[in-house]
Every structure is written in C-alpha cells, then in structure tokens.
Amino acid sequence: MTKPTFYITTPIYYPSGKLHIGNAYTTIACDVMARYKRLRGFDVYYLTGTDEHGQKIEQKADDMGITPQAYVDDMAKGMKDLWEMLDITYDQFIRTTSDKHKAAVQHIFERLLKQGDIYLGEYEGWYSVQDEEFFTETQLDEVYRDEDGKMIGGRAPSGHDVELVKEESYFFRMSKYADRLVQYYEDNPDFIQPAARKNEMLNNFIKPGLEDLAVSRTTFKWGVPVQSDPKHVVYVWIDALANYITALGYSTDEDELFKKYWPADVHMIGKEIVRFHAIYWPIMLMALDLPLPKKLLGHGWLLMKDGKMSKSKGNVIYPDQIVERYGLDSLRYYLMREVPFGSDGVFTPESFIERTNFDLANDLGNLVNRTISMINKYFDGNVPAYTGAHTDFDKSLEKAVKDNVQEYETSMENMQFSHALRAVWTIIGRSNKYIDETAPWVLAKDEANKEALGNVMVHLAENIRIAAVLLSPYLPHGPKEIFKQLNITDENQQTYESVMEYGIVKPEGPLSKPTPIYPRLDVEEEVTHIKDQMRPPAAEEPEEEAEAAEKITIDDFNKVEIKVATVIAAEAVKKAKKLLKIQVDLGNEERQIVSGIHEHYEPGDIIGKKVLVVTNLQPVKLRGEKSEGMILTAEKGSRLTLIDVPDGIENGSIVK
C-alpha cells in the first residue's frame, strides 16, 4: 500500500549570524510535525536550508576579506551542525548557491520573461540593505527630512536605515494576478493560518493596489545572473522562494521528488515574511501554472521581556547554551509548550527552569519513577496483565486518556503544538491523581487486594506508555528512556495506532530499578547561569578580545585622523537610552556626533569638556540623527570613560 505523502518546509535561513533559540523555533516545530506524520505512517519529506545570495552577504564577506562563497560555506556548516545538535530529521538541506538551484532559477526567470510576466524598467525606491527589501514612505517607522522638508532617508520597521536606490531593474507584473489571488483566498479559507494574517495581506497590501515587484538588481554581483542579461542578478524573492520547488528537481530531468511531493502540505514561516509567501510566492506559482501549497503557517516570535532578542540588549540565548547544560528535551519541550502557535511567546530564564522542573521532572519524571518503583516493590518488577476497567476510578481514567488522545490528534493536525502537549499533560496529571485516588500503598497491606493493586499498576504503566508514544515527536530522548525502563522493546507498542487500543502494555520481562529521566534543577543557580549567558558582549572578557585583535601597520594607523575638540552642547536622542547627540568645536568647524555614552554620562557632565574625535569617518545616521565622527573612550568591562585632554591643547590639534 502506497503511503500518503507529506511535504513540510522551513524558510531558508539567511546566514548573517549565529542562530538564537528564536530562529531554532521554526525548525524544531517543523521537526515535531515531520516526526508526528512519520508516526502516523506518512511518507514525509522535510526541507530546510540557507538563502545565500544578496548584497548583505557580499558586504559581510568583503569586510572579512574573504569570498562570499567561503563566507556562506562556513555559515551553512554551522547551521547543519546546529540542526544535528537539535536532532532535526530533515531530508534535504538546500543551499541557493548550488548549481542545481541556480540553473532552475534562471529557467524560471527566462520563462516568466518570455511570457510577459517580467519586463524591464527602472526602479527608484528606499532600500534597506540589512532587510534586503524596498519600502514605501508610508511603510517606514520613521522618515528623515532635510530643512526644506524633503525626504532624505528613513528607518524600516526592523530598525535599519534605508537609502535611496535608483537602477535599471526587471519587474514582475504582480497586479496581473491580484484578482486571481484574492479569489484563491476566498476559495481556500484555510490557506493562510492564523486567519488574521490573511486579513493583513488583503487590507494592507492587496486592496490598496498591488504594485509590480522589482526582481533584479545591478548594484551588486553576488546572486544568480539573469541568463539573457547577465549584468542583472535575480533579486532575493524569486531566488529564495523558488527553493521549495528547485529542491525537488523542478525544471530538470530528475524531477521525481517534485512529481511525488508537490504541492507542499505546509510552508512554516515567521510572521515577518508572511507577505512574501502569501502574495509573491502564490503569484509566481500561478504564472508558472503550478499548484499552490496547501497551507502557509505564519507563527509568532519568541520574545524576551524587553522585546525582540538583540545582542546589544544582552538578551540573546543560543540553543547550544541550553542543550549543553540542560539537554535537548528541555529546550524542545519549552519552545513547543510555552509558545502558543501563531502568537508571540516570551522566554524568561525563570519560566524555562520552571517548565523543566514542574512538567518534566515532577509530573512526568515522578510518575515514571513512582510507578516502576511500586511495580518492583509489589510485583517483583512484573507488570500485571490488563483485565479491564473495574472501578469508577478506572473508567474515569480511561475516558480521560481517550478524550485527550483525540484532543492531541486534533491539535497536532492543526499544528497547535502547545495544545497537544497540554492534552498529554492532562493524561499525566490524571494518572498522578489516580495514584492518590487508589492509594496503592494501602491496597498492598492486604493480600486480598492483590488483584486490585495489579489493576492500578497496569493502568499506570499503560498511561505512561501512551504518553511516551504521544511525546515521541517532541522529545528525542525521554520517550526512548521510558520504553527502556518499562522494558518495552516491541515496536508495535510504540506506534501511534497502539494508543487507540487501551491495555496492550506488555513488557518483555521484569523491570529494573528506575533512574531519573529529568533531574530537578536548582532554580536560583540555573536562573543566574542563564542570565549570565545572556549578558551583553561588552561584559565579556575584554582583555582576551584585546589580545586577539588583528595587527595593523603604521600606514593603517596613519589613515585615522584624530583631533582635539570641545563639547559645546549635548542632549539625549529620543527613544534611544544609550545615545547622546553632541555638538563639538574642532577649531575651524563645528560638528554633530552621536555617541553611545548616555548610560555613563549625562549631557551636563560633558559640556565644556575637551575630547578626542575621529574626524575622517564616513558620516552615518543613528536613530535619524547625523553623526560626523566618533568620540574616543576607554572601556574595561562595563565601565566607560571619556579620555581626558589637557585644557592647554587647542581645538583642532591633530593627535599622532
């Protein structure tokens, strides 16, 4: 019998830095779903990978003095190593720099060009290099204007500055497919989940008028060249989105996977890229006359108490830091239980330790330990045979198990992972209550209650077996250890189908002494440890960083122009607690400098103070304020001090 197929994808990750637990969330969620579907007997194909082209990659590689290919090779290896640590069971890791992918993207572009869906024009717009996205004036969080009120820049919702870009570009006729896309939404109401994301697409992007999309760039080279016009490279979204079909061999002679698995059952993505997957990607597929994916699921973010994770805030925690100290199960369980799927969740060290202690160590761990210990004590390690539900307690327990197995299945099919786990923990909690209701230690005092005592033991062993099966998509370690401690080697007792038939638990022989699966953690010690791991980079061993600094030549140093200046005015930058806007007198000119010293100095502390200024830096904008240089400071640990300059040295003097 042919298995039903299930194709699930993560977004392909942009290799711009080390992945934190928020990034890992999507990949773990997809892995849970892939494992669940395999448990249900599906032929699963799970795709993840990296989006390796773009201007930002080109710039990062140039800054590091290496080729873009060398940079992405190293980053891709790091991601693969992380997925191995997290026991991610993907079937393919696609890289957009692969020859197969690039050839398929070129084929797609030329086909769309030939059939008139892509045309050549000129684009002028506000572009964020970091986001690799163009923005209209109304989409920006902040707009910068000159004295005449003319727009000269702005800040994207991500916080990154935008710059005006004008270049020749190819455009995709998105407007041609707008009505068809809206009709598809109406005909397939579950296509975008949660439903609020669909309303956002309609109201914010489609109904106001869908603009044609720039799909090529000429201002950088690190990308897939347009075959018929090589001075252009294919812009990110055609290149990146196409991975879902190029990975399966689309447009090649080796397209067996494409024929087998497309359309995708689920594209799982973060809410920040729903627009590209819910608008651009369906339109691309319509233009290629291909079926659309069955479902887009845009999950929320994993936030910290003070907002999104940020190195500068000192609130970033990385998966390896958690796994190496607390184990993989604790991380996977926390992320899937604590974050309501589709909504934002908040990570705190306290809640992480509490989940590990209360749920894994106390509820589940103690249930396993108590049950096996009682079976050893009262029945020499032999689990009694199941003979049915004889008491009201038995009947109530079995009904709770049946109801929550159904709740689990419904939640899993809807990818409501926290709800599914809640159903499992209801079974676990009800089993712990069952121990209190039946009081086996009392039954054991009278030999006449031996059969009743055995009935309690087999019910507990069966509930633990069922819980282990249901938890196996989530926890790679714990369920295997439960089966081992219950001496269950028969794979038929570990299948999903087995949870539908109550009372089949039958160990291979006597049970051994139980060992804790999830040891309890010291709350105060571990919360402190996690917070230490999250501290800002500035607090991390500056002496070692100084020793590791790259050597420069005297010629390099001579390029830096340092002058003496006097601070003549200073004020705080709005909505930036670390920044001061400072006016300095350099003798022959006055300049404005934005400096991150506000946590150490108030404006009044520095007015009239002589400082050292690097004067030949390229001007930048920080939080909308122009900065024309850098004030030198001395830093050690968390302490920062302005460098004192004797009053007798004139402003404008050059420091050598």
Residue 538, pLDDT score = 44
Q: Which two tokens stand for residue 548?
A: 């590791």
Of 71-75, 122-126, 128-132, 156-160, the least confident: 128-132
What are residue 9's DSSP bridge partners? 47, 267
Give me the architecture of the 362-517 domain, per CATH. Orthogonal Bundle (1.10)
| pLDDT given for residue 596 in this prediction | 86
Average of pLDDT values for 524-538?
Answer: 82
Region class of 190: left (phi > 0), else alpha (psi between -120 and 50), else beta? alpha
Torsion of CA 492, 336, 15, 225, to 10 degrees: 70
Give CATH for domain 5-96+234-299: 3.40.50.620
The pLDDT-based confidence of 330 (bands split at 50, 70, 90) is very high
Burial of 637 (0-12, 13-18, 19+ CB in 10 A): exposed
pLDDT at site 546: 36
- How far is CA 633 from its chain centroid? 36
pLDDT over 80 at 615, yes or no: yes
Residue 616 has pLDDT above 80, yes or no: yes
Between the two ends of the chain, the Cα-to-Cα distance in Å is 81
Model confidence band, residue 350 (pLDDT cutoffs 50, 70, 90): very high
Mean pLDDT of the chain: 91
User: Which H or E run includes 43?
Assistant: strand 43-50
Run of H or E including 44: strand 43-50
Q: pLDDT value at position 20?
A: 86
CA distances from 13 to 80, 301, 552 (A): 11, 15, 34
The pLDDT of residue 117 is above 90:
yes
Residue 554 has pLDDT above 80, yes or no: no
**pLDDT, average across residues 383-391:** 96
Using left for φ > 0, alpha for ψ between -120 and 50, and beta otherwise, residue 314 falls in left
- Classified as helix, coil or strand, 566 is strand
Peptide bond into 189 cis (omega under 30): no
List Cβ neighbours of 169 (8 Å cut-off, separation of 6 or more). 120, 121, 122, 123, 214, 215, 216, 217, 218, 232, 235
Highest mean pLDDT among 17-21, 148-152, 258-262, 578-582: 258-262
Distance between CA atoms of residues 166 and 122, nearest Å: 7
Residue type, 313: K
Name the one residue in this structure whose structure tokens are 């993207």: 105
pLDDT at 118 over 80: yes
Q: DSSP strand E in 68-116: where? A: 92-95
CB-CB contact of 141 with 156 (8 Å): yes
> pLDDT tens digits, residue range 427-445?
999 999 999 999 999 999 9
Give the span between the Cα atoms of 323 and 326, in whole angstroms. Answer: 5
Q: For the residues 41-57, what does the mean pLDDT come to?
A: 95
pLDDT tens digits along 475-509: 999 999 999 999 999 999 999 999 999 999 999 99
pLDDT at 544: 37
Domain residue limits, the chain: 5-96+234-299, 112-217, 362-517, 554-655
What is the average per-residue pLDDT within 623-652? 83
Give the fold, CATH level 3, of 112-217. Answer: Methionyl-trna Synthetase; domain 2 (2.170.220)
Residue 485, Cα to own-chain centre: how many angstroms?
34
Mean pLDDT throughout 231-257? 95
- Quick one: which of 214, 213, 209 has its CA closest to 178? 209
Q: What is the CATH number of domain 554-655?
A: 2.40.50.140
Question: Is the pLDDT at 408 greater than 80, yes or no?
Answer: yes
Burial class (CB in 10 A: 0-12, 13-18, 19+), 307: exposed
Instruction: Please identify which residue in the block is written with the tokens 């590791």.
Output: 548
Q: How far apart are CA 522 and CA 282, in angstroms?
A: 50
Q: What gap in Å lies between CA 461 and CA 456, rounded to an integer?
A: 9
Contact of 9 with 304, CB cutoff 8 Å: no
The DSSP-derived string for 584-632 is: EE-SS-EEEEEES-TTT--HHHHTT-EEEEE-SSPPEEETTEEE-SEE-
Band of pLDDT at residue 18, cut at 50, 70 and 90: confident
Rounded Cα–Cα distance for residues 62 and 303 (Å): 32
Burial class (CB in 10 A: 0-12, 13-18, 19+), 214: buried
Residues 306 and 184: their CA atoms lie apart, in Å, by: 39
Per-residue confidence at 548, pLDDT binned at 50, 70, 90?
very low
pTM more than 0.85: no
Instruction: Give, in order, the Cα–Cα distances in Å from 244 to each of 11, 108, 226, 280, 611.
Output: 9, 13, 20, 13, 55
In the prediction, which pLDDT does 540 show?
Answer: 37
Integer Cα distance of 247 and 101 in angstroms: 7
Q: What is the mean pLDDT of residues 33-54?
A: 97
Q: Are 166 and 122 in contact (CB under 8 A)?
A: yes
Long-range Cβ contact pairs of 506-512 (< 8 A, separation 24 or more): 506/383, 506/385, 507/382, 507/383, 507/461, 509/382, 510/380, 510/381, 510/382, 511/372, 511/375, 511/376, 511/381, 511/382, 511/383, 511/485, 511/486, 511/487, 512/381, 512/485, 512/487
From residue 3, alpha-carbon distances to 43, 82, 136 in Å are 6, 30, 48
Residue length, the chain?
656
109-129 burial code (b ≥16 CB/10 A, e <16): beebbeeebbeeeebebbbbb
pLDDT at 550 (0 to 100): 60
Q: Among 283, 207, 238, 287, which Cα is nearest to 101's? A: 238
